[in-house]
Amino acid sequence: MAAYLIRRLMVSVLILLGVSFITFFLLYALPADPVRQIAGRSATAQTVENIRQQLGLDQPLLVQYWRYLTGLVQGDLGRSYLQRTEVGTLIAARLPASLLLMAGAIGCELVLGLTMGVIAALRRGTATDQTLMIASFVGVSAPQFVVGLLLLYVFAVQLGWFPIGGYGTWAHLVLPSVTLGIMGSGWYSRMMRSSMVDVLRADYIRTARAKGLARRRVILRHALPNAILPVIAMIGIDIGIFMGGIVVVESVFGWPGIGQLAWQAIQRVDIPIIMGVTLVSACAIVIGNLLADLVTPLIDPRIKLR
């Protein structure tokens, strides 16, 4: 186990190194010149050159990358070109909002997805089952920005139940969480259904029924806990999916998280911020996948980590 963990962590570091390398070179291939952005339109050639030197952008790319890496291992993500603030500080200020949003989305996925899945499995083959599974397909196929705009229109503009956008109270959290979580709810309900169907077929369920336990007890005590575990293991994978979704959801709802930070930075060619957010996202994805893999053998002891 320890050996496995160490190897996985080492591979993770290599993966993150690769991500940083590729992102770095992609961003510096951008046709837009960040120095021009900083200096403004009326800047003289001399000013532009000065800024370029100041930022070290006149150095060869590999030298720049090496500098970035040495900063990185000391926990320094560099400074924003435009705001002159440490990227680390900027991200740290925005991260809690994004994490809150993701937690809300996971809650939505679990509540909606698991409930739908369990009901569908128990009513297998009926119209209820069919309807729920079509609903799950709709959830998986719905573009997040459309869901977000529609929810805003119906529940904020027309009904006035929730605020139109922004951040602060619990009411602000509801619509963005549902928007971010609706796709996952679709996947969870499908996984939960098939997991539950498998468990309900198992011998120990037949035994439990045969020894006279009530249906309710069999389902809640014997079937549900076993069926739910493999689905829970997927939460780690979700983090990776969220990292893309938050850019869209945060921009629709004006949610002040790292997705919006990245989106603004991309529009302003603020490369250090884009680098920073990409790396933080990649970290989250790697950790999420690792967690998912570590949880699996706890749930199913037949699976051994190699």
Partner 1 sequence: MSDTSGTQPVRALLPVTGPRPKGVWARLMRRKLALFGLGLIVAVVAGAILAPWLTPYDPNEQRFEGLTLTGAPLPPNADFLLGTDLLGRDLLTRILYGARTSLIIGVVANGIALVIGTVIGVTAGYFRGFYGAVLMRFTDLMMAFPALLLAICLAAIFQPSLWIVAMVIAIVNWVQTARVLYTETTSLAEREFIAAEKTLGAGHARILIRHILPHLVPTIIVWGTLGISTTVLLEATLSFLGIGVQPPTPSWGNIIFENQTYFQAAPWLVFFPGAAILILALSFNLLGDALRDVLDPTQRGRD
Select the span of 9-17, 36-44, 216-224, 293-301 touching partner 1 (CB under 8 A).
Answer: 9-17
Site string for partner 1, 197-236 (x = CB under 8 A): x---------------------------------------
Site string for partner 1, 97-136 (x = CB under 8 A): -------------------------------------x--
Rounded-to-integer distance, Cα 143 and Cα 272, Å: 29
Residues 25-54 interacting with partner 1 (rule: CB under 8 A): 26-27, 29-32
> DSSP per residue over 45-67, as a string?
HHHHHHHHHHTTTTS-HHHHHHH
Closest-CA residue to 273 (of 96, 95, 90, 98): 90
Q: Is the dihedral of CA 60, 61, 65, 71 positive or negative?
A: positive
Select the span of 70-78, 95-103, 107-115, 282-290 touching partner 1 (CB under 8 A).
Answer: 282-290
150 binds partner 1 (CB under 8 A): yes
> CB of 47: closest distance to partner 1 in angstroms?
25
| Of residues 22 and 62, the one with the C-beta less far from partner 1 | 22
Q: Is the dihedral of CA 256, 259, 265, 266 positive or negative?
A: negative
Rounded-to-integer distance, Cα 155 and Cα 213, Å: 44
Residues with Cβ within 8 Å of residue 149, at least 6 apart in sequence: 252
Do 135 and 188 contact (CB within 8 A), yes or no? no
Give the binding site for partner 1 (CB under 8 A): 11, 14-16, 18-19, 22-23, 26-27, 29-32, 134, 137-138, 140-146, 149-150, 153, 157, 194, 197, 240, 243-245, 247-248, 251, 262-263, 266, 274, 277-278, 281-282, 285-286, 289
